[in-house]
Amino acid sequence: MSAPRILAFGGSLRRDSYNQKLAAIAAEGAREAGAEVTLIKLSDFPMPLFDQDLEASHGMHPEAKRLKELFLSHQGLLIASPEYNSSYSAALKNAIDWVSRGDSPDEPPISALAGKSAVIMATSPGGLGGLRGLVKLRMLLGNLGITLLPDQIAIPSAFQAFGPDGHLVDPKQEAKVKALGAALALHLKKQLV
């Protein structure tokens, strides 16, 4: 049986993103549970705002195509989403908008997303840890045909939660985030049997 493949990333473009650190911790948990994990940064895929006129005149943006190929080659998603004004980030939504597009007339929309399984999490400087954004992200991803595992985590006071090594200061929080990654790996393993 081959190992499940999981794509992990934070929904922020910021160089020192707390959510990118959170995604890396969850990725460790998934790897420890036997998954093959690709950890990426959305900032490594610079693309314009999705615009149907731009797509019609130039086709799918090359960086969007590169990102979409990663989505297509992985069965699971680990997404750590920042909360911007009680929702997910524009960068995350833009990436999903581009990836959701069919690349040819015979490719159905959302084929790079539908049928995948995902775990979502968040951290933010605020007291709710990004929880309000996760509510909306869960709805968005579910509407795209992604199966979301029920467990999630939102870590408040992000500026104090991480140590200099990028790991969480609280070992119980660290263990919970790793457990989310492991849960996705185990869920996908059952599907591959």
46 — alpha (psi -120 to 50), left (phi > 0) or beta? Answer: beta
* Per-residue pLDDT at 193 exceeds 80: no
List pLDDT tens digits, range 42-84: 999 999 999 999 999 999 999 999 999 999 999 999 999 999 9
Selection from 134, 136, 117 nearest residue 185 by Cα: 117
List pLDDT tens digits, range 131-180: 999 999 999 999 999 999 999 999 999 999 999 999 999 999 999 999 99
Look at residue 105 in the predicted model and tell me its pLDDT: 84
The average pLDDT across 98-104 equals 92
Give the residue extent of every domain in the chain. 5-192
Name the CATH superfamily, with its identifier, for domain 5-192: Flavodoxin domain (3.40.50.360)
